[in-house]
Amino acid sequence: MTMPDENIVAPKPKVWFTADLHWGEERLHLFHRPFKSAHEFVTTIIKNWNSVVGEEDEVYVLGDVAVEQSWLQYLSLLNGTKHLIKGNYDTFGDEVYRVHFASVVDNADMIIRNNDGVELFVHLDHYPTRSIASSFGLCGHIHSAWMVQKNLLNVGVDPFHFMPVSVEQVFLCFKQICEIYDEDVWCANHPANVAHSDRGKKGTYWETGFSGNLQAEEAPTK
């Protein structure tokens, strides 16, 4: 017997996060991405994304969508309502991104809830250095350099096997940070690291902006 249509319960919309697509980037080896070309990478992202994201879902992209404007056209193939938290590569002008995204902002604060109704305040920003102490930070920018800090989660495609990150995954990572990981994970201030504080360069993208849309071989790696 067929049940009446009014008894069919549609799945509830879900919230997802991702970052650092870098569509059009041919220097895949810099990000340790196992793809032969930029087109193969985009095809994989579209397939993976649509395998879990529904048409009614909301997806927050935490920056660095594409290195060239022409690659933005493929966003129309992705399920869900998309929101952009701008990164250093997102320099084509807000009006360009608003064609593809429901909202375009520098950062955002929101409350997420897991299946048990537990709430978590989260701060969304492309740049880890713009995190805040009062909210759990979701970020991008650093690709596969690291996945978690004590108050940060890198939701980029690289640490999450080229898949978007669900709210439940955020809660799982938060639980691991709070209850499971130990000092061998939190070793940033270890004397062996502090002794070489001169290494690397000052992060200034969020202060000065990324000037350019350079060719792939000339663009910064992050």
The confidence score (pLDDT) of residue 219 equals 35
Domain boundaries, the chain: 10-208
pLDDT tens digits in sequence order for the chain, 222 residues long: 455 455 565 678 999 999 999 999 998 988 899 999 999 999 999 999 999 999 999 999 999 999 999 999 999 999 999 999 999 999 999 999 999 999 999 999 999 999 999 999 999 999 999 999 999 999 999 999 999 999 999 999 999 999 999 999 999 999 999 999 999 999 988 999 999 989 988 777 777 666 555 443 333 334
Task: Round to whole Å and give the CA distance between 145 and 108.
Answer: 23
Residue 209, sorted as left (phi over 0), alpha (psi -120 to 50) or beta, turns out to be left
The confidence score (pLDDT) of residue 216 equals 38
CATH architecture classification, 10-208: 4-Layer Sandwich (3.60)
The confidence score (pLDDT) of residue 6 equals 57
CA of residue 85 relative to chain centroid, distance: 9
The confidence score (pLDDT) of residue 16 equals 98
Residue position matching structure tokens 């002008």? 93
Distances, alpha carbon 142 to alpha carbons 31, 69, 94, 153, in Å: 10, 22, 23, 11
Cα torsion 119, 120, 125, 127 to 10°: value is -160
Task: Round to whole Å and give the CA distance between 14 and 74.
Answer: 22
Q: How many other CB atoms are there within 10 angstroms of residue 3's CB atom?
A: 7
Residue type, 92: F
Residue type, 139: C
pTM score: 0.89
The set of residues, in sequence order, having a beta carbon less than 8 Å from that of 114 and lying 6+ positions away, is 120, 167, 168, 171
Task: Round to whole Å and give the CA distance between 173 and 186.
Answer: 14
Task: Round to whole Å and give the CA distance between 193 and 48.
Answer: 37
